[in-house]
Amino acid sequence: MNALKNKVQLIGNLGQDPEIVTMENGTKLAKFSLATTESYKNAKGEKVDDTQWHNIVAWGKTAEIVENYLTKGKQVAVEGKLTHRSYETKEGDKRYITEIRCNELLMLGK
């Protein structure tokens, strides 16, 4: 059960082309946003779409696959873990970010 403590699975569409960064040691990092949409009917019976945006990061071979095959609008399934980190802006403000570190990727659709 240890593997289930921090596991995220999402299916969605890329909101933009991935950002690819090559580290000094040659390792690749891919960053992209993924939109997931759920539909439901409100109290009036009207259909409502609720879209959530998720920040995804992928390293190494997974990042290379992202770089070579994914573009804005593509539908993918990602599996990974939830991570939290903080950083400081140039102005000295502290910012917090939640990301999904992708360790598996499945390309869907056409």
Domains of the chain with CATH codes: 2-107 (2.40.50.140)
Q: Which two tokens stand for residue 12?
A: 């969605």
Q: What is the dihedral of CA 107, 2, 33, 99, to 10 degrees?
A: -160
Report which residue type is found at 34. L
- Residue 65: in which H helix or E strand, if any? helix 60-69
Are the C-beta atoms of 53 and 71 separated by less than 8 Å? no
Report which residue type is found at 77. A
Q: What is the pLDDT along the chain (110 residues), one digit of tens a residue?
A: 666 689 999 999 999 999 999 999 999 999 999 999 999 999 999 999 999 999 999 999 999 999 999 999 999 999 999 999 999 999 999 999 999 999 999 999 76
